Amino acid sequence: MAEMIERISAGLERAFAARGFASPSVEELRDAAGVSLRTLYKYTPSRADMVLAALEHRHRRYMGRIFTELPEAQGGALDTLLARVGGWMAEEATHGCLFHAAVAADPDSARLRALLQRHKAEVAERAASACGLPGREAELLLLIEGLTQSWPLHGAQAVAAAQQLGRALFQAPQ
């Protein structure tokens, strides 16, 4: 069962990332998931459930890619983390954050807002822990979110700017 939901979630993530949340038909989502319509609805009974499954899958992939095996040196961890966010943007999210796009597509969904908040809070907490900057979650999230939002306009320059600003966190009083 876990393997099937993983397969479905991965296909749904690809479809929503490529086509947005309004465009793909259920048939296109079924094809992207590589399952029958019956199986798709068995594991994700509504379009809202499909979006949530896709975003949960994306969350796991993002966290694994950004936070796995960071250098132990504080500044090195932050530079690496920000470079990985830039790499993610270049390869996976050239149009911006899929979590924010999902909330923008369905702003009244409490479930989507809760998932967005949980994802961003976990990113901030993991960044603060990995970089040895406890209590600086807000500043780190601002750096990461700023990088994510400015990537489509500035690309690699956004990474360099975020890294430069990030280094200042180690000298600034809390």
User: Mind listing the pLDDT tens digit for each residue in 93-109?
Assistant: 888 899 999 999 999 99
User: Where does 20-136 have alpha helices with state H?
Assistant: 26-33, 37-43, 47-67, 74-92, 98-105, 110-131
| pLDDT for 93 | 86
- Which pLDDT score is estimated for 1? 78
Task: Give the model's pLDDT for residue 96.
Answer: 84
For the question of whether the overall pTM of this predicted structure is more than 0.85, the answer is yes
The predicted pLDDT at position 75 comes to: 80
User: Do residues 32 and 15 touch, judged by C-beta distance below 8 A?
Assistant: yes
At 61-93, the pLDDT tens digits run 999 999 999 998 878 999 999 999 999 999 998
Q: Residue 62: what pLDDT?
A: 97
Q: What confidence tens digit (pLDDT) does each residue in 37-48 have?
A: 999 999 999 999
pLDDT (0 to 100) of residue 171: 85
Q: Which residue has the higher pLDDT, 137 or 73?
A: 137
> In whole angstroms, how far apart are CA 35 and each of 6, 58, 95?
12, 19, 27
**CATH code of the domain made up of 2-168:** 1.10.357.10
